[in-house]
């Protein structure tokens, strides 16, 4: 790069960006180092690398990192990180001649490449800036990509930071509302919008009303998962998929991970969850042969739902969740992880069925649900599951096998 002029650098960057899209995640982790970012900083300082070209390159590095879930401290610890911090603050403080486009680019690079977003001052600048960029309504392919980039950068802001609602809630709501009416966002951009909102819940539980009732998370996630699942030929191996299918699989994974977090932490039940559980079951069944990682994530998210005392066991039954987990445990190729998640699921269900209710009517309802669960497990052939898991765990993990027996004993207690 140092020996090239600006035009030659731009051409080389375009070639590098194409290579990065195809490069394995583990190789990228080895390449995206503190030394690399320091080298870029030095080249900018010595004017051997134009800022425009550096940003063009770094935006794609950040995008690839986000797409492939590459987390690390390389950029955070680099001199380039400090340069970008200073430039963002300087641009924001300008009374005249502020370069809005440059500020957006800097905020995108900074957010996508920072594993820890540690400055309240920078959050107060970057969040409104990225939301403004994400709110553009033009539907050209280039603009869609820019909006997607801004929303992914917004989503990458550390979820443990509390962000004042005034900085984002009105704008996020408007983006979601506009998408419902116009469908102008890519599926990845729309999922990133929800990702940002869902993970804000980690530090602001008062958001639950807006997320569930006003913006209808469960309904929207159900619709997106069903559409994405239809767009994938699940019989293909990963390497056989075209780019659209690979992107759909990526977005499905992101939805399942975000929903798993939400199921674990939500405090209020919503009837729309039944359809959402059904759509996760659909994904799990579709992915079980060639995409075991997705299947594992589905079972894990359903296990979190079963553990949550605000999720009704009856609705797990209605949605087909109990049948789906039973099916997973009976498969000959069931692995340790998914078997453990399934055991935890049934452990949670059995614990919930034993919970004491406040009055006789609720107790009668609990007993009826318990009987339905037991009948469903009998129908699914639960004794086959016991034998299957025994074959897997009897020698290697006595503790888990013992847990299984305890679960079975709890479930077969008379209602």
The domain segmentation of the chain, as residue ranges, is: 1-116
| Residues contacting residue 247 through CB under 8 Å, at least 6 positions apart | 187, 188
Burial of 241 (0-12, 13-18, 19+ CB in 10 A): middle
Q: Are 39 and 80 in contact (CB under 8 A)?
A: no
pLDDT of residue 405: 52
Q: Are 303 and 341 in contact (CB under 8 A)?
A: yes
pLDDT of residue 293: 87
SS3 of 271, please?
coil
Q: Which residues of the chain have pLDDT under 50?
A: 356, 358-361, 390, 392-396, 398, 409, 412-415
pLDDT of residue 37: 93
pLDDT of residue 191: 96
pLDDT of residue 178: 92
Instruction: Name the residue among 302, 277, 298 with its Cα closest to residue 287.
Output: 298
* 105 CA to centre of own chain: 24
């Amino acid at each position: 790069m140092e020996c090239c002029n600006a035009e030659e650098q731009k051409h080389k960057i375009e070639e590098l960006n194409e290579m990065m899209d195809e490069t394995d995640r583990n190789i990228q982790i080895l390449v995206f180092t503190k030394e690399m970012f320091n080298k870029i900083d030095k080249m900018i300082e010595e004017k051997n690398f134009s800022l425009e070209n550096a940003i063009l390159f770094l935006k794609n590095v950040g995008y690839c990192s986000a797409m492939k879930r590459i987390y690390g401290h390389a950029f955070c610890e680099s001199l380039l990180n400090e340069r970008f911090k200073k430039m963002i603050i300087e641009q924001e403080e300008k009374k005249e001649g502020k370069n809005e486009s440059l500020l957006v680019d800097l905020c995108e690079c900074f957010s996508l490449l920072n594993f820890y977003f540690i400055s309240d001052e920078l959050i107060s600048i970057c969040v409104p800036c990225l939301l403004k960029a994400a709110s553009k309504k033009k539907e050209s392919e280039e603009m869609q990509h820019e909006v997607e980039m801004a929303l992914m950068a917004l989503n990458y802001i550390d979820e443990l930071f509390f962000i004042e609602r005034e900085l984002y809630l009105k704008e996020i709501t408007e983006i979601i509302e506009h998408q419902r009416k116009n469908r102008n966002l890519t599926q990845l951009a729309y999922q990133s919008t929800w990702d940002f909102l869902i993970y804000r819940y980690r530090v602001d539980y008062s958001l639950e009303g807006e997320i569930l009732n006003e913006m209808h998370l469960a309904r929207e996630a159900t619709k997106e998962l069903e559409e994405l699942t239809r767009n994938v030929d699940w019989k293909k191996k990963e390497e056989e998929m075209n780019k659209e299918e690979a992107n759909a699989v990526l977005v499905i994974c992101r939805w399942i991970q975000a929903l798993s977090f939400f199921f674990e932490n939500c405090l209020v039940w919503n009837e729309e969850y039944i359809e959402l559980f059904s759509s996760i079951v659909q994904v799990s069944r579709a992915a079980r042969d060639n995409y075991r990682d997705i299947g594992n994530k589905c079972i894990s998210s359903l296990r979190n739902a079963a553990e949550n005392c605000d999720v009704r066991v009856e609705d797990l039954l209605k949605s087909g969740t109990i049948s789906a987990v039973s099916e997973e445990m009976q498969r000959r190729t069931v692995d340790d992880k998914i078997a453990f998640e399934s055991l935890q699921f049934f452990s949670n269900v059995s614990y919930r069925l034993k919970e004491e209710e406040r009055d006789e009517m609720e107790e009668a309802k609990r007993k009826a649900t318990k009987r339905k669960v037991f009948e469903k497990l009998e129908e699914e052939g639960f004794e086959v599951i016991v034998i299957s898991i025994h074959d897997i765990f009897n020698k290697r993990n006595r503790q888990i096998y013992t847990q299984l027996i305890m679960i079975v004993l709890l479930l077969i207690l008379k209602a």
